Amino acid sequence: MPLLINGARVDLARPTGDMIRAHPHLEEKAKLLRSQPAQIVEPKGLLYVQQREFAVTTPKDGSVSILGSDDATTCHIVVLRHTGAFDLQPEDVHLVTFCVTELNDREEQDIHFPIIYGIAVNVKTAEIFPATFPEKGPDEDLRSAHILTGAPVSKRNKENS
């Protein structure tokens, strides 16, 4: 699965700093993202993604309008958006926004902290924004319990069970 920036394949063995310097527009997009205040996302229409989880939805989903995650201090949050039909889609990933490492770092008394801890995407408009989530549902306790045991979790839609 090649990673592409502006249609050109990225050498994944290359240091991150070199990639950022070679593609200055990534730094500009990261600055723009960092400059936005974190929005508080309420639970209605939210699908919160915890650590070790992934979620899939579509813009036509009537239940989910915002998909997001936070608590990313040493973890990464990746948002992939499919913009066409899969029947002819090569497995290329186009990097559009990149806000990790030095692009998402602040220092206080020689200790590094992320600037953005959480991110959300409006699945209807594709807008990505810094976010915080007062509620991390649905079923936060149940979804977190599997981490203690290392067991996989399977969630089902009540209507399809």
Torsion of the alpha carbons at 28, 34, 40 and 42, rounded to the nearest 10: 40
Q: What is the pTM of this model?
A: 0.77
For 56-83, write each residue's pLDDT tens digit. 888 898 999 999 999 777 777 888 777 6
Q: Minimal CA–CA distance to 98: which of 42, 16, 158?
A: 16
For 101-155, write each residue's pLDDT tens digit. 888 999 999 999 999 999 999 999 999 999 999 988 767 666 666 666 665 555 5
